[in-house]
Amino acid sequence: MKPNDLRYVVAKADAERILAGQLEQVKARSSGVYGLHHATIRHFLDNMGGAAERTAGRLVLDEAGILRWMIEDAKLRSLKYAYQRFAVVSYYLRALVQAGLIGTDLLGQFKIRHGNRSWSCIARALQSSDPIAALASLEPPAPLPGPLDASIEPFIELARAMGKKYKHHLQILQDLNRFLISESVPSLQAVDTALLERWIRTKTCSPAVRVNKVRFVKRFFEHLRGAGMVEHNPVDVTLTCSAKPLHTFRPFIFTQQQIAAILAEARRLPRSHSFPLRQQTCYAMLAILCALGLRHGEARRLRVCDVNFGKDTLFIDQTKFNKSLYVPFGPRVGRCLREYLEDRRGILPPLRNEDPFFVTSWRAPLSGNTLLRSFHTILGAIGITQPGHRPPRLHDLRHTFAVHRLLRWYREGVDVQQRLPWLSTFMGHVEIASTQVYLTITTDLLNEASTRFYQHCGRLIAGESQS
């Protein structure tokens, strides 16, 4: 086991400031939790660096020093208490990273290098007669070199630099690389259509998902061919056409009455100890999704400092394709957000600028799964379903926003074509074509468009019919 050589020097005053902030966060939980955090981090800081450095008001954080503390500390504790203390220190180190005092969560990196095992497993190894050997046994074996090793990361980094996420796409290429290793494929040039056919046959996903995987692999090899790393693309056209034709997707457009029912039901959601603000959080979150057409990820990532009540704007930082934008909101949305903030300040104090705006408990940001489960609970309670289809998505609220905005413009008699660039800009799109994806034709919208058309061209049609 070889520790990394990262070394950080932190002013003791800064370390104490972060400790005070962490204790402030946990003091309302219980005296036991507060005592655990206070005693653990205090003992940890007192053992970081030499006596001379601590006397000079500095702490030295490196993995070697942290490992020494972990070994000594684990010998003095029960297994459960030892791994609880490690988890507390890891939480503290992440706070130092967030504050910019250190560049890496040293304990998190230590955990990853040891197979990302649980703190319980690591504590058990440290309490053994030979902790160094026990830790070494936890390290995963070095992976065998694969033909795609040198090509995957540059390709993914290039795509991400262009604003693409490519999280699951990275997993596809890594899975293919592992398969090629198992097949003893020596190089990129040795990858052929037969190999890719065998790889895709190992997938148990649906035919459509398999085709999507193959199409991405084709894109990857096309990139390699353009870079001169392979002479031809081994993905045969037949591999990309083996799925059944996909049905045209049609989003669910909520009516105004359904939106009102959703918001009303959000106020009746049962709360829990781990989510004391469930009613207020889900109501405020769904309200701004409906009123402003945000992506739910944009709303979930909002920080307290991103909501400007003086200018009535939300700052959306680094959204899709790495864009940032300001979204204005009206008085009703402003009142909703202020009420939520007051409720949160009363139940989960204190409130800091960098904290997530929407939380579950103790500054834990609201996750997509938590919001989605609450959304489906609401839809089930008020009976909104799509017989024969999957339930409406959270993203359908964004589609609904765009359609209702267009409908209002028709009813107000304004020039809709002239206003479309406004809608495109408001929704964070670079071009109107991206906005048009959201403009699903509904019966109401079709009726309004027909009425507008008849107002302008009805006389011509009537004249032709009389002649």
Would you state the torsion angle of the CA atoms of residues 46, 47, 53, 59, taken in this order, to the nearest 10 degrees?
Answer: -80
Identify the pLDDT of residue 428: 87
Residue whose C-alpha is closest to residue 8's, from 72, 58, 73, 67:
58
Dihedral over Cα of 146, 164, 296, 361: its sign: positive
Identify the pLDDT of residue 38: 93
Residue whose C-alpha is closest to residue 405's, from 268, 326, 304, 292:
292
Which segments of 249-325 does DSSP mark as H helices, in order?
A: 256-266, 278-292, 296-300
Mean pLDDT by 10 residues, the chain (467 residues): 71 90 80 90 89 81 91 92 92 88 88 88 93 90 82 89 80 91 90 91 81 90 92 83 54 93 95 86 96 94 94 88 86 96 83 86 80 93 82 92 90 86 88 81 70 58 50
Identify the pLDDT of residue 192: 92
Q: Where do the domains of the chain lie, and which CATH numbers do they carry?
A: 7-138 (no CATH), 149-241 (1.10.150), 256-382 (1.10.443.10), 396-466 (no CATH)
Identify the pLDDT of residue 166: 79
pTM beyond cutoff 0.75:
no
Identify the pLDDT of residue 37: 93
Identify the pLDDT of residue 345: 85
Identify the pLDDT of residue 467: 47
The angle formed by the CA atoms of residues 258, 405 and 416, to the nearest 5 degrees, is 150
Tokens coding 388: 């024969």
**Nearest-angstrom CA–CA distance, 234 and 190:** 10
